[in-house]
Structure 1
Amino acid sequence: MPTEVPQPLRDDIVWLDLVEPTPQEDAFVEGLLGIPIPTRDELKDIEPSSRLYIQSNSVFMTASLVYRADSEDPHLTDVAFILSGNRLVTVRYAEPKSFQLFIAALGRVPEGKRDGTTLLARLLETIADRTAEILEHTVDHIDKLSTDIFRDRGKRRPPHYLESKLAKIAEAHRLVAKVRDSLGSLSRLLTFLMNVPHMQADKGDSSLCATVAHDVETLSEHASFVAGNISFLLDASLGLINVEQNAIIKIFSIASVVFLPPTLVASIYGMNFHFMPELNWHLGYPLALFAMLMSAIIPFFIFRWKGWL
């Protein structure tokens, strides 16, 4: 793409969405608008002064958004939002679903209200709505996991059943953690944006940003609540695993105690001393077997009576 601008950008072009731009494309847009376009490395800077600032009457903001939330490997991607005059510029190196939803709904924005600040406010609203949808799906997933873990506790289940659920819980915990990080960055961005003259100039856009900021705050509280439920479910699953392991150990312990008296009887009559009166008994062998059997049965019924089995 050439770096020289053959003609100025038309006034009706109010949004430039740069998806994985090359250095040549960055230079081309910089020539169009006369503003620096942040690179991928600059977007990763976590310093607030590098993510939210005003330069040459242009507003530069960076937020972390969740993408691939519907997969087993969700990620965060840094997206730049730039207000330059009447235009909005977004720079991203991933495909968050919120952008697809916003583009699909662009036709609902009145033509007379299609400017950079309005598009940014509505885009942030779509991002908040998508984040709420992610949390809603996560809550449904956690409820299903909770039902699978705690229901039918008396039925026999496959080995490592609970261990397989731990992986699902970890996936949900990772997703909620990324959602909380994203909401934190969005909250800082909205607080900064509401104090920017570009946004304060339009009461409608300013009011929408305030509403989105309130939604983000509510979602942050809800995400904390969901994270607490996940932690409880994780602790409960680990506790159930310990209970099942203790039950297995208890079975072996009882078996050892039950078979210990018969082993003692067999050991006594397995000794080869010459003077053992029982060796000359005609009923010695069946009596020994009977003693071994009774010494195993009696402890078994005692354990059942005590409720240990």
Structure 2
Amino acid sequence: MHISKELEKKIALPPATPVFVGEKKSEEVKITAAIYDEKSAEFEELKVEDLENILNYDKKLWIDVTGIHDEEAISKICDILGIHPLAAEDVLNTAQRVKVEDYDDHLFIVLKILLYDDNLEIDQLSVVLKKNLVVTFKEREYQIFDLIRSRLKKGGRIRKFGVDYLAYAIMDAVVDSYFEALLKISSEVEVLEDEVVSGNSALIGKIHGLKREILAFRNAVWPLRDVLSFFTRVEHDLIGEEVKVYYRDVYDHAVRLMEVLETQRELVVGLRELLLSVLSNKLNEIMKVLTMIATIFIPLSFIASVYGMNFKYMPELEWEYGYPTVLIVMAVIALVEVVFFKKKGWI
């Protein structure tokens, strides 16, 4: 996705204009609702027009929206749920940086979902936290959300505490997924460490690509600490004191993530320098061998050029054993040079 071209759609438009910026990753907009309390949890698939009725439930709600490419549908969903127009605009703009916005009666959080197979893909996740309501807007389905639904079905703290704990659980699952992506990157770094010593110049491209992926990873998650710090230090009606300790825990995970990510980035930079050093040493060895060969042949070339002048009165010109004698002398000179170079440790 070329973000710079995508963002041209928003030039000179009024604030809060709903414009989708990104790549379509779901065929349709799908809405799933989790209706739960401490005793039970129910899940329903909804249409946009069903949202007004479900808000009347006297239970905690999690409305999960998959597919954000439909500007009209997303705008209508945000309008029904009372989400600020500026937040609705940010939901549709997948080029947003990780952040948290306070709109008094609700909090709006932007996170990034990292998918790493052969290449790194970065999706956007938007989370809205209101009283007794959490709304998530995601570009496509992710396994971590199935795990959170499983926890809701089983019960425990996620059903006992308020929706602020559910928001924490979502953030914690996202941060944990970063470690999974980072583990795959670390495996690639280890493989490259073993291959770099071979001095294969083709590895430069792999190292450069991995460096770019780590940089994109870093840019996507670096602001996460500020977002999580907000939940640990700010007094807000939507965040209970008993849940803040859990936000501090995920904040610690984020700090650890940044430390490991920086280590991997430094390792990749070091691998590039190591590869260049190995290639340079390899080139030096080649030049050394070529220099030795040239040095050996310098006196031999001199002798051959002297006896190749063909003057009429040259000594040994008509000598019967002149040719083999010169060859023997040249061989002895070459042998002496080789022995001398070996004693010096040059070869």
| TM tier relative to shorter chain | 0.7 to 0.9
| Number of residue pairs aligned between Structure 1 and Structure 2 | 294
Residue 216, structure 1, aligned to residue 254, structure 2: yes
Aligned to 1:55: 103
**233-242 or 55-64, larger mean C-alpha shift:** 55-64
Aligned to 2:318: 280
Q: Distance in 1 between matches of 2:254 and 2:52?
A: 42
Judging changes above 3 Å, is the alpha-carbon distance between structure 1 residues 5 and 145 closer, same or farther for their aligned structure 2 residues? closer
Residue 200, structure 1, aligned to residue 226, structure 2: no
Q: Kindly provide the amino acid, as one letter, of the partner of residue 20 in structure 1.
A: G
Judging changes above 3 Å, is the alpha-carbon distance between structure 1 residues 259 and 100 closer, same or farther for their aligned structure 2 residues? farther
3-state DSSP of counterpart to 1:278: coil
Q: Kindly provide the amino acid, as one letter, of the partner of residue 200 in structure 1.
A: I
1:244 offset after TM fit, Å?
Answer: 1.2
1:167 offset after TM fit, Å?
Answer: 3.6
Judging changes above 3 Å, is the alpha-carbon distance between structure 1 residues 278 and 11 closer, same or farther for their aligned structure 2 residues? farther
3-state DSSP of counterpart to 2:310: coil
Q: Distance in 2 between matches of 1:5 and 1:106?
A: 20
Judging changes above 3 Å, is the alpha-carbon distance between structure 1 residues 44 and 149 closer, same or farther for their aligned structure 2 residues? closer
On the 8 A contact 2:60/2:163 being kept in 1, the answer is no
Aligned pair partner of 1:79 in 103, 125, 132: 125
On the 8 A contact 1:117/1:198 being kept in 2, the answer is no
Aligned to 1:117: 164
Judging changes above 3 Å, is the alpha-carbon distance between structure 1 residues 164 and 12 closer, same or farther for their aligned structure 2 residues? farther
Cα shift readout 1:159-202 (whole Å, capped 9, x = no counterpart): xx622433443344333323322332221211223325145324
Residue 107, structure 1, aligned to residue 145, structure 2: no
Q: Kindly provide the amino acid, as one letter, of the partner of residue 305 in structure 1.
A: K
Q: Distance in 2 between matches of 1:177 and 1:148?
A: 22
Cα shift readout 1:29-79 (whole Å, capped 9, x = no counterpart): 124312242355545244x8xx42222511112123322x1x232133332
3-state DSSP of counterpart to 1:77: strand
Q: Distance in 1 between matches of 2:223 and 2:48?
A: 35
Aligned to 1:154: none
Judging changes above 3 Å, is the alpha-carbon distance between structure 1 residues 106 and 172 closer, same or farther for their aligned structure 2 residues? farther
Judging changes above 3 Å, is the alpha-carbon distance between structure 1 residues 109 and 130 closer, same or farther for their aligned structure 2 residues? farther
Aligned to 1:249: 287
3-state DSSP of counterpart to 2:316: helix
Residue identity (%): 21
Judging changes above 3 Å, is the alpha-carbon distance between structure 1 residues 144 and 42 closer, same or farther for their aligned structure 2 residues? closer
On the 8 A contact 2:186/2:264 being kept in 1, the answer is yes
Q: Distance in 2 between matches of 1:247 and 1:108?
A: 65
**82-91 or 136-145, larger mean C-alpha shift:** 136-145
On the 8 A contact 1:80/1:90 being kept in 2, the answer is yes
Q: Distance in 2 between matches of 1:139 and 1:127?
A: 19
Aligned to 1:303: 341
**TM-score relative to the length of structure 1:** 0.83
Aligned to 1:169: 207
**TM-score relative to the length of structure 2:** 0.74
Q: Distance in 1 between matches of 2:252 and 2:280?
A: 42
Judging changes above 3 Å, is the alpha-carbon distance between structure 1 residues 141 and 44 closer, same or farther for their aligned structure 2 residues? closer
On the 8 A contact 1:132/1:219 being kept in 2, the answer is yes
Q: Kindly provide the amino acid, as one letter, of the partner of residue 258 in structure 2.
A: S
Pairing of 1:115-154 with structure 2 (within 5 A): 115-150=162-197
Aligned to 2:309: 271
Cα shift readout 1:87-113 (whole Å, capped 9, x = no counterpart): 111222255554454445443443743
Q: Kindly provide the amino acid, as one letter, of the partner of residue 262 in structure 1.
A: L
Q: Kindly provide the amino acid, as one letter, of the partner of residue 191 in structure 2.
A: K
1:5 offset after TM fit, Å?
Answer: 6.2
Q: Distance in 1 between matches of 2:82 and 2:273?
A: 55
3-state DSSP of counterpart to 1:181: helix
On the 8 A contact 2:94/2:123 being kept in 1, the answer is no
Higher helix share: 1
**173-182 or 245-254, larger mean C-alpha shift:** 173-182
Residue 240, structure 1, aligned to residue 264, structure 2: no
Aligned to 2:17: none
3-state DSSP of counterpart to 2:125: strand
Aligned to 1:153: none
Q: Distance in 2 between matches of 1:73 and 1:137?
A: 10
1:83 offset after TM fit, Å?
Answer: 0.8
Judging changes above 3 Å, is the alpha-carbon distance between structure 1 residues 101 and 289 closer, same or farther for their aligned structure 2 residues? farther
